Chain A
Amino acid sequence: MGAADLYTPALLEHVQHPDYNFALDDATHVHEGVNPSCGDDLTVHARVGEDGRIAEVSWTGEGCAVSKGSADMMADLMVGLTPAEAKELCNTFGELVRGELAPDEAEEELDEAACLASIAHMPARVKCAELAWRTLDEMLDGASSPSTTEDGSERPR
């Protein structure tokens, strides 16, 4: 039962009582990620300190539980990483939710975000889980246009 495994108390706790759902006044990076067909529209905020490490990450916006819970888990994991390390973690997360990496191989690095591994069995929802991570990844590359994890295809009516 893929979906029942996905909506764990841990995920729902992040959705209903998010720790990082606010804008950063002193952000050094702000970037929007949009999946138009879902209506998921998140903005990721980050402050990179003078030591070159990520001091704080937060998110604002609207979306499904998977996109919001995933963003909140991500924000927690990014603190203290260098941008290169953060990008590497985004890559690991992408591999996990696309089913290219076994959950136990990612558990140490991704902590509770590893619980989103079961989304690999729900192809239509992978983009939801990935949205904040892709947005952060592209933000750290200095992207100017909004990020998306949609391929643009439509579903039948």
Chain B
Amino acid sequence: MDARCSAPLLSAARAADIAANPFVADFPLLAARPDIAYLDSAATAQRPAAVIEAEARFYETMNANPLRGLYGLSVEATAALEEARATFARRVGAADPREIVFTRNATESLNLVAKTLGEQLLSEGDEVCISILEHHSNLIPWQQICARTGATLVWLYPDAEGHFSPEEIEAKIGPATRIVSIAQVSNVLGVETPVAAIAERAHAMGAILIVDGAQAVSHLPVAVQELGCDLYAFSAHKALGPFGVGALWGRLELLESMPPFLTGGEMIDSVTQEGAVWAPVPEKFEAGTQDAAGIYASAVGLTYLEEVGLEAIAAREEALTTLLMGELAKLEGVSVLGPCDPAEHHGVVSFDVAGIHPHDVASLLDAKGVAIRAGHHCAQPLLAWLGHPSVNRASVAFYNDADDVMQLVDGLKFVQEVFHGSR
């Protein structure tokens, strides 16, 4: 991949100075729209110029259909794809680039696993264990496969802050459990789940552990070997890459034992009128032409994150979250969901404003240039369990600054004035 993205290189201490914003110049949208406080990075990240330019550079200088390398240009396109695979592998600490399967997004990665491994492993009497924190993408595929195979879906419940007890893990993951699938970071509460402890229990019970890393990859130094999971799904667009690129990491021997997902071109070694021989992993799971330009640009996004450094990112996001939660605590009627400690939020702060529906909050904030998410956040069972049909969610990234947070806080005062005070 490209040697450098020229991301600002700052110590964690310098990055935590949220009065300054050394990153904004690298993000064309943020530079072009200084009026907007973009606080919806948990939905999708803004993209640095390096990523946007990389996508164009692929088409301008190396565009050809990869994997059919009978001429130089196609060889170059293939090399770009494979270098990107190595970058993805490095990002999650994979032992071998062949353990990275490209998909369209984390949702497709999770569907791939449910449809292949789920079909292969599950039958009546078996259990699939997920948690109440799950995004619909790590829930509906399992509901569906359980309905088809007769397996039972079992739910892990945390405490009010989002923490899972060892007793809950032991009670819900047992001898009947064949598959455990859990988010590493909740897209609503921001809390990190105890993946290593869940991995230990799951493996002791002979179950496979899948982790939905969609909200983790841009915040945490993910190392799949240390986490102890067997499969790991994530999306590039939450980690500075373009839309439409995702990945599935899996232990090589596990991926090799799984049946294919989509079938067709690129995923076969040979085909006869009677049948086909699958290509080796990862091509076995990559039917059809891949978004090579998007994958190439996604790797540049991951490289940009690496250059900024996850330590610096964590320090800056913690400073932003600390400011935000401190200011929200001063507002009457505003309550934050999830952990009390800002360091546990990974940039995600969901909150309720007493007496004002989140959609009214978000619409009025929009009038003040503040972009937040409001609704059920594709986690309806979680919100029902929490007793809120919908909530507000502000999510920060390292390219935000203190002004963005204060624009939200001032915006919330305006919302409360509209509803409760004189204008």
Interaction A to B: yes
Interface residues of A (CB under 8 A from B): 1-4, 6-7, 9, 12, 16, 36-39, 63-66, 122, 124-125, 128, 154-157
Indicate if B418 sits at the interface (CB-CB under 8 A).
yes
Shortest CB distance A75–B (Å): 19
**What residues of chain B lie closer than 8 Å to A1, measured between beta carbons?**
367
Interface residues of B in 377-400 (CB under 8 A from A): 377-380, 389-390
**What residues of chain A lie closer than 8 Å to B360, measured between beta carbons?**
7, 64-66
Are A65 and B44 closer than 8 Å at their CB atoms? no
Are A3 and B389 closer than 8 Å at their CB atoms? no
Shortest CB distance B380–A (Å): 8
Are B359 and A64 closer than 8 Å at their CB atoms? yes
Shortest CB distance A11–B (Å): 10
CB-CB nearest in chain A for B363? A3
**What residues of chain B lie closer than 8 Å to A36, measured between beta carbons?**
380
CB-CB nearest in chain A for B237? A156
Indicate if B227 sits at the interface (CB-CB under 8 A).
no
Indicate if B172 sits at the interface (CB-CB under 8 A).
no
**CA A64 – CA B375 in complex, angstroms?**
11
**CA A128 – CA B136 in complex, angstroms?**
23
**What residues of chain A lie closer than 8 Å to B137, measured between beta carbons?**
157
25 contacts across the A-B interface (CB closer than 8 A):
A1-B367, A2-B367, A3-B363, A3-B364, A4-B367, A7-B418, A12-B419, A37-B376, A37-B390, A38-B390, A39-B376, A64-B359, A65-B356, A65-B357, A65-B360, A66-B360, A122-B363, A154-B378, A155-B43, A156-B43, A157-B42, A157-B214, A157-B377, A157-B378, A157-B379
Indicate if B135 sits at the interface (CB-CB under 8 A).
yes
CB-CB nearest in chain A for B105? A156
CB-CB nearest in chain A for B377? A157
* B interface residues, tally (CB under 8 Å): 29
Q: How many A-B residue pairs have CB under 8 A?
A: 70
**CA A73 – CA B128 in complex, angstroms?**
49
Leading 6 A-B pairs by shortest Cβ distance: A39-B389, A64-B357, A3-B367, A3-B363, A4-B367, A157-B378
Shortest CB distance B218–A (Å): 13
Are B359 and A7 closer than 8 Å at their CB atoms? no
**CA A110 – CA B202 in complex, angstroms?**
61
Shortest CB distance B119–A (Å): 25
Shortest CB distance B143–A (Å): 15
**What residues of chain A lie closer than 8 Å to B327, measured between beta carbons?**
none
**Given known A38-B390, A64-B359, A125-B359, contact A3–B375 (CB-CB < 8 A):** no
Are B364 and A7 closer than 8 Å at their CB atoms? yes
**What residues of chain A lie closer than 8 Å to B291, measured between beta carbons?**
none
Shortest CB distance B349–A (Å): 15
**What residues of chain B lie closer than 8 Å to A157, measured between beta carbons?**
42-43, 135, 137, 187, 214, 377-379
Indicate if B366 sits at the interface (CB-CB under 8 A).
yes
CB-CB nearest in chain B for A154? B378
**What residues of chain B lie closer than 8 Å to A9, measured between beta carbons?**
423
CB-CB nearest in chain B for A69? B360
**CA A149 – CA B405 in complex, angstroms?**
34
**CA A157 – CA B376 in complex, angstroms?**
9
CB-CB nearest in chain A for B43? A156
Are B418 and A12 closer than 8 Å at their CB atoms? yes
**CA A9 – CA B422 in complex, angstroms?**
10
Indicate with 1 or 0, residue by residue over B337-353, a CB within 8 angstroms of chain A CB atoms. Answer: 00000000000000000
**CA A21 – CA B25 in complex, angstroms?**
51
Among the listed A12, A63, A125, which residue makes an inter-chain contact with B363, where contact means beta carbons less than 8 Å apart?
A125
Are A65 and B419 closer than 8 Å at their CB atoms? yes
**CA A65 – CA B205 in complex, angstroms?**
50
**Given known A39-B389, A157-B187, contact A128–B364 (CB-CB < 8 A):** no
**Given known A6-B363, A64-B359, A157-B214, contact A39–B135 (CB-CB < 8 A):** no
